[in-house]
Amino acid sequence: MKDSSFKRFDMTAPPRKTSWYLKPVKKALCFPAWIGHKPVITYENGVQELKGPFLLLCNHNAFLDFKIASTLLGKNDANYVVAIDGYIGREWLMRRVGCICKRKFTNDLNLVKQLKQVVKMGNVAVIYPEARYSLCGTTAVLPKSLGKLAKLLDVPVVTLICHGHHVNSPFWDSSHERGVKGTEATYTQLLTVEEVRSMDANAINEKLVEAFQYDDFAWQKEHGIRVTESRRAEGLHRVLYQCPHCNTEFKMASRGARLLCQACKKEWEMTELGELAAVNGETEFSHIPDWYEWQRVNVRREVEAGSYSSGELKVRVDSLPNSEKYIPIGEGTLLHDMNGFHVSCVDADGDRHEMEKSVASMYSCHIEYQYLFKYGDCVDLNTTRDTWYIYPEGDFAVTKMAIATEELYRHELLQKGAGLTEGIL
The alpha carbon of residue 417 and the mean position of all alpha carbons in its chain are separated, in whole angstroms, by 28
* Per-residue pLDDT at 422: 60
- Whether the CB-CB separation of 403 and 296 falls below 8 Å is answered with yes
* Per-residue pLDDT at 157: 98
* Per-residue pLDDT at 314: 97
- Identify the CA nearest to 244 among candidates 261, 269, 258, 262: 261
* Whole-structure pTM value: 0.94
Query: Where does residue 38 fall: left (phi above 0), alpha (psi -120 to 50 degrees), or beta otherwise?
Result: left
HEC string of 17-43? Answer: CCCHHHHHHHHHHHHHHHHHHCCEEEE
* Per-residue pLDDT at 112: 94
Q: Please, where in the chain does CATH 2.30.29 lie?
A: 313-415
Q: How many CB atoms neighbour CB 287 within 10 A?
A: 18
Helix, strand, or coil here: 60?
Answer: coil
| CA–CA separation, 99 and 91 (whole Å) | 9
| CA–CA separation, 187 and 159 (whole Å) | 6
The correct CATH number of 313-415 out of 2.30.29, 3.40.50, 2.60.40, 2.40.30 is 2.30.29
* Per-residue pLDDT at 3: 55
- Whether the CB-CB separation of 64 and 169 falls below 8 Å is answered with yes
| CA–CA separation, 33 and 72 (whole Å) | 13
Q: Which CATH architecture has domain 9-223?
A: 3-Layer(aba) Sandwich (3.40)
- Whether the CB-CB separation of 209 and 423 falls below 8 Å is answered with yes
* Per-residue pLDDT at 172: 95
| CA–CA separation, 28 and 216 (whole Å) | 27
Q: Please, where in the chain does CATH 3.40.1130 lie?
A: 9-223
Beta bridge partners of 41: 185
CA 412 → CA 105, 286, 301, 379, distances in Å? 17, 33, 14, 21
* Per-residue pLDDT at 237: 97
Query: Where does residue 131 fall: left (phi above 0), alpha (psi -120 to 50 degrees), or beta otherwise?
Result: left
* Per-residue pLDDT at 69: 95
Angle (CA) 380 359 329, round 5°: 30
* Per-residue pLDDT at 246: 98
* Per-residue pLDDT at 8: 85
**Average pLDDT per consecutive 10 residues, the chain (425 residues; last block may be shorter):** 68 89 87 91 96 96 93 93 91 92 89 96 96 94 94 98 97 91 97 98 96 97 96 96 98 97 98 98 98 98 98 95 91 97 93 95 94 85 93 94 96 81 61
* Per-residue pLDDT at 243: 98
151 burial (CB, 10 Å; 0-12 / 13-18 / 19+) is middle
Task: Label the pairing between strands 78-83 and 258-261.
Answer: unpaired
* Per-residue pLDDT at 1: 55
Backbone φ and ψ of 264, nearest 5°:
-105, -5
| CA–CA separation, 129 and 233 (whole Å) | 28
* Per-residue pLDDT at 111: 93
| CA–CA separation, 345 and 317 (whole Å) | 7
- Whether the CB-CB separation of 203 and 209 falls below 8 Å is answered with no
